[in-house]
Amino acid sequence: MDRLSSSTSPATATSTGPVEQILLAGDSGVAPEALKALFRDHPSGVTVITANSPDGPVAMTASSLFSISVTPPLIVFSASALSSSTSALLAADTVVVHLIDAECHDLAVLGATSGADRFADPYRWAVLPTGEPFYLAPRRRVRGQVVKKVDAGAATLFVIHVIEAWNEDEADGHPLVYHNRQWHVLSEHSRIA
């Protein structure tokens, strides 16, 4: 059984001070493998993020997307420093975030495959009038402006102001979920009454 270990005392853990103060106090936190094991068992939705760059379109798969505000409409995702797309995303002013259903599983795999030409098939993607590349198959996506980038360890958090949204409600999609390093689909059979 994996145990999460930390040198944080209960008093420090319940502190009302900023996270930065706790970390600067000399607490190294839980071991990386313990945190990975914990979140490996926490399912998350799957997105593919695209942007334009001076070298052409870029794309990456991410499972870190969440909404932080509806007024103003803000979403956040993180990009690892290890991703080949991160440097282009850091230079982008706008992005397109595709919310991936199981029917677009192959697109999620493509965006997660290191070294793959993610735009090799010209029939799979197009360019918005505003210049951003986007994939045609996903039924839900947003276009947004990058309003803040925050260094966060070995990753960057991107805060995105949503400018446009597309949601093809009439389509019968089944959300794709990433759990324990595997892809899963949500359906009526997975629902708990």
pLDDT digits (tens, 9 = 90+) for 49-91: 999 998 899 999 999 999 999 999 999 999 988 888 888 999 9
Determine the average pLDDT of the residues in 27-35: 79
Q: What is the CA radius of gyration of the chain?
A: 18
Give the SS3 label for residue 169: coil
Q: Dump pLDDT digits (tens) for 155-166.
A: 999 999 999 999
CB burial of residue 29 (10 Å; 0-12, 13-18, 19+):
middle
Domains, the chain: 1-42 (no CATH), 45-190 (2.30.110.10)
Give the SS3 label for residue 88: helix
Residue type, 189: H
Give the SS3 label for residue 11: helix
- More confidently predicted of 31 and 21: 31
Determine the average pLDDT of the residues in 114-119: 90
Closest CA to 101 of 187, 173, 180: 173
- More confidently predicted of 181 and 57: 57
| Alpha-carbon span 73 to 75, nearest angstrom | 7
pTM for the full model? 0.81
